Amino acid sequence: MGKHENGYQRSPRDFYPTRQAWVTQGLLAHIDVGGLNVLEPAAGEGHMAEVLKAAGAASVFCNDIEDRGYPLDQISDFTTAVFPKRFDAIITNPPQGGRTSILFKGFIETGLAYIGDHGGTLALLLPTDFDSAKTRGRFFADCPLFAAKIVLMGRIVWFERNDGDRAAPKENHAWYVWRRGHRGPPNILYAREPISPRRPNGRAGEARTPPGAQRPL
């Protein structure tokens, strides 16, 4: 179910778990986390953390503002938290409260301050047009750390419907990536939704990226 389908009720604390592995795999098609110490600051039920671990991350430190049943290393508000170790990358799906959500801004500001001090990579899952507003230029067009926008070529299903109808999400999303030491304009990249098992040219669950686009960052 998408956030704007009929019958949608806003999730408490804007919690929309990234249950579909292809969403995180779309980021990992362009960024190698092998051997990295990763912070997942809004780990929720652990869906994204498990994909990161499977991709070879040396460690995934899981934090969230509340316990949702997945083992957490720390329970805290990311925007005010102090962590006991340093990380090579911060990767998360921030609370999906809408295009004007103050939470998005808080996660970007906190993440940018962290990599500004310690180096590394920040990757956040946000609405595809979140970088369009001129008031956000300091995060994107005018930010020298802004390294890439990875557009998801498929729409995220946050929750399955329980009325028998097929989910029909309306929102488009992209990964936004910042990196200390980045030079030049940001890369515009793409990540495809898995191929349907009914189609003969790919396996079910296979995340595909255009030739030559594998991990250019």
Tens-place pLDDT, residues 51-79: 999 999 999 999 999 999 999 999 999 99
Query: In the chain, where are the structural domains located?
Result: 12-192
Percent of the chain whose pLDDT exceeds 70: 76
The predicted-structure confidence for 116-169, as pLDDT tens digits, reads as follows: 999 999 999 999 999 999 999 999 999 999 999 999 999 998 766 565 566 667
pLDDT value of position 161: 56
Please choose, from the candidates 118, 110, 125, the residue with its C-alpha nearest in 3D space to the C-alpha of residue 37.
118
Answer yes or no: CATH 3.30.420.480 is held by domain 12-192: no
- Residue whose structure tokens are 């995180």: 24
Per-residue pLDDT for 211 more than 50?
A: no
DSSP string, 174-217: EEEEEETT--SSPEEEEEEPPPPTTSTTS-TT-----TT-SS--
